[in-house]
Amino acid sequence: MKFVIQRDQLIASVQDVMKAISPRTAIPILTGMKIEAHTHGITLTGSDSDISIESYIPVEEDGNVYIEQLEPGSIVLHARYFPDIVRKLPEKTVEFEVDHLHQVTIKSGRAEFKLNGQDAEEYPLLPKLQTDDSFEVPIDLLKNMIKQTVFAVSTMETRPILTGVNVNLKEKGLNFTATDSHRLASRAVPIDTNLEFSNIVIPGKSLNELNRILDDAEETVEVSVTENQILFRTKHINFLSRLLDGNYPETSRLIPTQSKTIIQAKTKDLIQAIDRASLLAREERNNVVKLTTESNNFLEISSNSPEVGHVSEEVSVHKIEGEELKISFSSKYMLDALKVIESEDIIIEFTGAMRPFIIQPVNGENILQLILPVRTY
Amino acid sequence: MKFVIQRDQLIASVQDVMKAISPRTAIPILTGMKIEAHTHGITLTGSDSDISIESYIPVEEDGNVYIEQLEPGSIVLHARYFPDIVRKLPEKTVEFEVDHLHQVTIKSGRAEFKLNGQDAEEYPLLPKLQTDDSFEVPIDLLKNMIKQTVFAVSTMETRPILTGVNVNLKEKGLNFTATDSHRLASRAVPIDTNLEFSNIVIPGKSLNELNRILDDAEETVEVSVTENQILFRTKHINFLSRLLDGNYPETSRLIPTQSKTIIQAKTKDLIQAIDRASLLAREERNNVVKLTTESNNFLEISSNSPEVGHVSEEVSVHKIEGEELKISFSSKYMLDALKVIESEDIIIEFTGAMRPFIIQPVNGENILQLILPVRTY
């Protein structure tokens, strides 16, 4: 196995694949990165057995030659050293050669590394997806859907199914829902496909890594789903994640269908006032702030911490309709929800101080954020 | 006590003073920040009893009005909340008012914080420096002297005196020396003063904080020294540090006066090659690299880690004079020393593989870095 490769291409691929590699893994060889040279390019593979990432560098693309002097073969290199070595090589090209004892020689300029590799035959075979069905999503849209829901997954292992995002595809509508049972976040978008599936739950961790790896420069990602795996495929990357076992709870009945108080406000004004009010309460786990409706389209946002002090702020809003309201909630949950709504204005609908309330953008996007209030008496 | 102040000025001062405040301190009130309003301005004070920082904001400066409606008084506020509050206030001005129960009201726009303060009478009086003798140093020069020496102080409390930088002023020469007994760093500069002192040892931690707080925009810092304290004074800041007790060891006899091998090289080339060679050895505490002289003005920099592999690189240097040499040393010590020498080219003088070697810039600056080699047989 041998090749001469452009260092920048190799660095980018190594960085992507590293996102799947964990130094703590039950299968020692998975702390390594598999490198395969085929006739048409190089494939790097990393996996922690939950997530697997393959990155492909073609010999040539758009008239640019990335790889020369290619002789096929494969090797596994320890991922603890390889990325830093590649990043710090002195020249723009890197010569990579493997001998029959799995010793890898990496040369660039006058620098020469000889690393002990491992036989690629010992690297586990990644499961192949048993489906040709797939649909396409614009990358920026998928990244938004992830960002707007994944923060609400549970971090507790007591109900493992809630650590994932529930994904449904029905009647040309793709829907993401996450809840940790104190709050819920969902987003729906139209998709041009006849595929349908339900009760697919993707681990939140996988979606966070996917969001980090997806390149805004590419336009769409192709998605294939089987019973226990999901594959996201772009031009250069295959991102495979296992799915969570179990039944995702029915969440639609949690969402109130009527409201008693409706507030329409500037998203940014509310974020800043709640952020300030949360400053005094940050030591407590659910740093609670209180929202009180006032006359003349003003809200009061306030918080009290007996030891530290008191904070209050009047916020001017577009309108307040319905009953007067005093309600307390976690400032963290509220800020998480408000920050992912990319709309200048929002509507909040309340059904009393003890009932969950919902936040939606006024820009027409199908986003719903639900938060359970906190009892403070 | 009352004043209305420009928020940006207050933020900058609070940030400076925070550098002296530690959340872990034996004296509880020192977790707070003292705020004093005098007729001509506001003074903020923070201290961890080793370092004390005072920052002064004048009512008016260079035609800019920073403070209005000033009524004198003083208060201590908990430093855990105050900086974030100031930073996140909505408007450009901040109204600050203290009542007779030590309750502090901070208003900005429609946001209002009421914080529980503490009586400033309970804040310890900072020691006053008993000297009028002082000398001036350009700030950029002082920052360089600190940067070029302080990294070499010991981090071990076994010999506390070595955790500080030894400062001498003699015959119009100011000299900084630091050593952890494995390496030594020193820098000397001429100073226009008739003051003289010796055996002054400033804690490394104090100098690191001083370096962070000194503002490049100001030109000089005024330095006053007594037996147990040193004061650095700029237009807006008083930085007071205690000195370390004890006698600093005589270090001049450690420095070899003759050499057997002399290498002159480009600083950057050597840094990059040693940095690469250290990649494989970083798990061991003293990640050791080996330097070997070769013919035709080449060095070999190499490192070996039985489990991971081997790295070697030839570095072209300006010249090699004297005996052939194979020497091993800590790549960390070598990189620390090379990185603070702001000279394009350096001279390294060796007196054999088992003796300390010295590194000096060729730009004429009075910097000396000394490193003890590592036995590798």
Report the alpha-carbon distance of residue B279 to residue B289 in Å, rounded: 10
pLDDT, tens only, A336-351: 999 999 899 999 999 9
Predicted TM-score of the model (pTM)? 0.90
H or E segment to which residue B141 belongs: helix B139-149
Supply the DSSP string of A288-350, one letter for each residue: EEEEEE-STTEEEEEEEETTTEEEEEEEE-SEEEES--EEEEEHHHHHHHHHH---SEEEEEE
List the single residue in B89, B309, B313 with the smallest CB-CB distance to A116.
B309
- Which residue, among B304, B307, B308, B299, has the nearest Cα to B273 in the 3D structure? B299
pLDDT digits (tens), chain B, 377 positions: 999 999 999 999 999 999 999 988 889 999 999 999 999 999 999 999 899 999 999 999 999 999 999 999 999 999 989 999 999 999 999 999 999 999 999 999 999 999 999 999 999 987 777 777 899 999 999 999 999 999 999 999 899 999 999 999 999 999 999 999 999 999 999 999 999 999 899 999 999 999 999 987 779 999 999 888 999 999 999 999 999 999 999 998 889 999 999 999 999 999 999 999 999 876 555 689 999 999 999 999 999 988 889 999 999 999 999 999 999 999 999 999 999 998 999 999 999 999 999 999 998 889 999 999 998 75
CB contact under 8 A, B113 and A78: no
Tokens of B305: 């880690």
The CA-based diameter of chain A, rounded to the nearest angstrom, is 81
H or E element: which one contains A241? strand A237-242
Report chain B residues whose CB lies below 8 A from the CB of A276.
Answer: 85, 88-90, 111
> Could you give the CA distance from residue A285 to residue B36 in angstroms, rounded to a whole number?
34
Q: What is the pLDDT of residues B135-158, one digit of tens each?
A: 999 999 999 999 999 999 999 989
Partner B contacted by A309 (CB < 8 A): yes
Cβ contact, residue pair A276, B81, below 8 Å: no
Contacts of A230 (CB under 8 A, 6+ apart): A200, A202, A223, A224, A240, A241, A243
Which residues of chain A have a CB within 8 Å of the CB of B311?
111-114
CA dist., res. A183 & res. A152, Å (int):
7
Which residues does chain A have within 8 Å of residue B317's beta carbon, measured at their own beta carbons? none
Q: What angle do CA B50, B54, B55 make, to 5 degrees?
A: 145
The answer to whether A30 and A51 have CB atoms below 8 angstroms apart is no
Distance from C-alpha of B236 to C-alpha of B234, rounded to nearest angstrom: 6
Residue with tokens 């005589």: B250
**Is the Cβ pair B115, A309 closer than 8 Å?**
yes
Nearest CA in chain B to A312: B112
How far is residue B359 CA from its own chain's centroid? 21
| ipTM of model | 0.87
Distance from CA of A337 to the nearest CA of B (A): 20
Residues 344-363 of A with CB under 8 A from B: none
CB B198 within 8 A of CB B205: no
**Taking CA atoms, what residue in A is nearest to B109?**
A313
* Buried-state track A205-228, b at ≥16 Cβ within 10 A, e below 16: bbbbbbeebbeeeeebbebbbeee
- Give 3-state DSSP helix, strand, coil % of chain B, rounded to 5: 20, 45, 35
A271 interface with B at CB cutoff 8 Å: no
